[in-house]
Each structure stands twice: as structure tokens, then as C-alpha cells.
Structure 1
């Protein structure tokens, strides 16, 4: 059997067909990596044409196949070519059939991915000179300190300061866009991975960070990512803040007892996301109010115009969305999650449940 026929059968076949394809590929001898990479390039180009970005493909490999397929996907995405594949195989110490089987699984996953809606918005404007670089560096530095400190109160203060700078960063970009007529700075999109476990609660946290930073988030639960719509100045800080808050939440979740129930963990993260939403929104509103007093009457209409542009772009990309409602059922998890997000409020009354909702792209029928 020829290789092209073997791997084509493997895409929609079972384990037996994948084993056959791996055997055919391994039988190509020392030149198997060249054959593999040629097919890989064709399959990746097809997936990209169906709306998948390179980083989406790597994430799906980790989500659906695990290791070492995920490591192989990362290696090929970083430096596609037979030498890169050969180095990966040598580094993993795989025999030829095992390497070929791992490759075939990856190839079949990519080839079977369906068509998804690729974000189609006008290309984002280049950030104006002097805006972004220094602010983002300060924000990253503050969040890095928040992640590394062993003192929860210090982490909270550092994260709050980072959000204040994020809001100021967005305001500066809005003022510059308004000064240049406002038309060039159109909304853009960014896909951000939302990993298992408890991906619903994590998507709720991302939605909270996005909303506080003048962006909108739509979760594609089936594929493990959310599409965030916003202006270029805001998208970067959303991803940076979301990643940092996940690190801080994970550390707080594992502090103390090592054994936690699934209900506890999920309730913790839902409550954490809810309190983060309150805190970040309050910080943004305070910064906007202060900036409006200093800048005069032109700022609020400029911000409102940007908010409207983001909403319109989101509706254009996702005309149909559904609401996914999440409930936390463990009172201890709810309390600890809120405490982790706001150490100053230790005496809140704990309700029996807490719920939140996120917008979700409908699943394929």
C-alpha cells in the first residue's frame, strides 16, 4: 500500500488503519521524515484554509492527543522540516514505528478538523508610537511579582495596580485614536486557549478580564479556546492578565489541603472569577472617572465609540451565541475562591450557590 492511500484511510479509520499507515511510513526507511513533512505541510495548509491558526493546531494536539503528540506539534510548528522532526525523534528516543505512529495520529487529527469561522475584521492599526511598550512592560513586571510572591495581600495589591495601569493604557490609546479621527484603530481579534479541567470556570474568568478591559469574549467550548474581540491596545493586556490570574488562582487553590473535591475546585474558580470581575471593573471605572476629570468632556464619548465598535464587531463575527450558566455548589469552595480574589473581605456571608454565565459559540450540529 502506498503512503498517500494509507494515511487517507487512517483519517476516518480506527486504530488498525493508523497502525497500517504508521507501518507504511516507517517502511520508507531513513527518508521517512521527508515523506512525513511533505504530507504534514499539505495537511496544515488545509487546516489553515478551514480557519485554524498554527497555535490552534498545537493546542488541539495537547487537548485531544496529549504527550508526546503535543511536543511533536510544538516542534513542527516552531521549525517545520525533516531536520526538526528528526531532532524531535532523537530527543524523545523513539523507535521509527513509534515516531511514525505519533506522527500519523497528529496528521489524522489535523486533517479531520472541521471548518470554523476565522475572524474576519479589518487588519488592526499599528499602535501609535510611544503607546504600549513601556506600559505593557510595567504591567508584565507587576503581574510577575504577583505570581511569585508568597503573600496573598501583596499579590492582590500588585494585581490591582496592574489593572489600574491597564485601564490607563486603554484610555491613552482611546485618546490617541480620537485625536487621529478614530477611524484607523478598528477592533481586532485574538484566540486565547482555555484548558481543561474546569474550562467553563476559566472561560468565565477570561470573560471577566475581557469585560473590564473594554473587550468581549466568546467561548468555543468544543475546541478549547475563546475569541476575544477588542482594540489592539486592550487585547495584549487581557491575555497577560488572564494568564497571571490563572497562575495566582491555581496557587491559592492548592494552598493548604492537598485533596479537594471537584465541586470544591469548580466552585472556587467560579467564585474567584466573579470577585475578579467586580474588582477589575471597579478599578477600571475609577481610572476612567479620574481621567475624565483631567481630560475634559471628550474622553467619555471616545470610549463609548470604542465600546460600540467592539460590540458591533462581535455581533458581526458571532451573530448567534448561547449563554452557558455555571453554578458553584460547594460553599467552602465559593468562600475560599472569593477570599483568594479579595483577601480584605473575610466576613462575607456565603450563599449556598453562586452562578455566572458566559457567551458560547453554538456547537456543531
Structure 2
């Protein structure tokens, strides 16, 4: 590549990673990027400021095949892991809240039904969810059981021909706008002497005793919905239980899908922050020169570009492994931990390049940085993923 070619190439693609993608993968990425440019970027600052999630965006996400896009059948797109990851990166380049909606709907709620549900349950719920006509949520976390879901206190008791659910859930994405909740509870059967096991239940949110209240005010993920959920003797038919994979392996399989998407999504937030800083540095003139001409600014831009490139390489490696059926849980933890950590630093550094203007919603980096504080916490905190990797390296369980 000549010097002129290097200057005309995309400066954000430092390592020509575009060459590593197939035409189909690039088409998926570009299509989702165009959707975000047209329907998210012009409005996201106001959504964030007002603390609202744009429900009118859901049909567009569905039309683009983004809801349960990694699943097959039932109206789902059946796309590859890399295509799914590229889509998550583009959505989070718009805002973490938009990617979170797609993740909760597809990687959590729809995946739970697809992996653990009966044929009848899949037929009932998945087509409408893929079409965006039905919204789902995934209720695992509790006020006293975040990183330690094994200590959950929500119960499901078998009474006659029904199940009765009681308990509390917290930080449940989409719960107040959802039509169906995948609720995880300790199942207690009076006729069974076995130890209670964690089971999943499909709870229509109109069921008496189910109540979801948005958590407000928030300083992060403001263009998204997270709720407190109360289950007050919610009575369900016997076939509401997800029949497959009892125990914590059930929800953990769904969390693995969501964590994989986060490893990609963080690269989008980081890339968008770098782009904002690079544009500003080229336009802003101080002391008679653009900021981009100063050594300290260039050092910041280079450091950010290296972090973005490393994060993209890691995400792509995870995607190739997933498509090959070789992705392991500790690898997902490595991607989620490293990429979110890098993205936060990139967003914060990008804000410094923007100066005082960087604290306004006219620019994206500080919004991304605020959102990423939530992203680093949900689907496993930094500490949890560190311990997962520590266990893999040493063979010793350090959670307790």
C-alpha cells in the first residue's frame, strides 16, 4: 500500500480487518450500520436525556432480522456467530441500550425458549418474538442474588396441577414492556424429596401477581429499560415450566450467548468513541493548528486505535471459534472482560480529546462511557469473569 493509499483507507480499520470478513459478513455489518445511522443516531441523544427506550424501533429491528438472529427456524434469521457479533457491534456503536434490547430479546429470552422449551412453547412464543410482535424478558437476578444466582430465593411450588411463583427480581431488562417473562426460580415439589432445583418458567406478564416497575433515575443505560419485578403468588399452568436442562446450567447457557454478544458490542462503542475523537481532533483548531497535529493528541488517538483493533481481533476470534463449535466459557469471559475494559478506557480518553464539549450529549463518548459501566456489571462483573479465568488457569475455585 502506498502512502496515498494508506491515507485514503479507513483510518479506524488500523489492521485492514475488513479483509478478514466474507462478503456476506460485510453485507450484514453494513446493513445494520445503515439502520443505526438512519434510525438511531439522529435520536439517541434525546432518548438518553429523556430516559426512554424507543419501542417504535422494535419493528425495524425485527424487519432487519436482528431478533434471535442466531437462532434457526420459527422466523429467526439463522445467521452465523460472526454476523451476529458484527450486528451487535453496530448496534452498540449507536447505543448500548439498543444492543441490550436485542440481547435480552434474542440471546436471553428467545434462547431460553429455543434451548430449554418444549416444541409447543417454541411454536407459541418464538415466531412473535422474532417478528417483534412479542417482547420477552429474562428474570434471573435478585436484590440479594446478583453474581451468586445459586442463592436465589424466588420459589416455584407445585400445587395441584399448577405452579405458584413467589419472590423478587431486580435489574430485569424490558420487564415493564415485556409480554412474557422467563423467570428462574427454585422449584419445590411437595411430592418429591429431591433437593429443589433451579427451573425456568414462562410467565405472561398479564398474569395476576406479576408486577414490573422501572428502576429510576439512572445514570447509565438511560435509553433502555431495567426493572424491579415482584412475583406475588403468580399461578401458572403445569406446562409453563421449561422442560429441558434443569439447574443453573439452564440460565448459564443463555448468559453465555449474551456475554458473547457483549464482547462484540463493546468494540462498537469503542470504535464510535474513537471516531468522534478523531473527527473533532481534525476540526478543532487551537494555537493555530488542529488538535490532530499535536503530539499528545496523536498519542491518545494511537492508543485508542490500538485498543479498538485488539478488541476487534479478539471478538472475531471468538466468533470464528463459535461458528466452528469450539468456543468455551472461559473464552467468552476473556472476551467480555477484556473488551469492555478496553472500551471504557477508549471512551474516557476520547472524551478528553473533545474537551469541555465532550460532556454534552452532542458527542457520544461520555454517553458510551456511562453505558459501559452497566455493561461491565451485567452478565457477570469484572470480578466474576476474572475468577472464571483464574479457575481455568489454576484449577482452583476462588468464588467462595
TM-score by length of 2: 0.25
Larger Rg: 1
Considering fraction of residues, name the structure with more helix. 1
TM-score by length of 1: 0.27
Considering fraction of residues, name the structure with more strand. 2
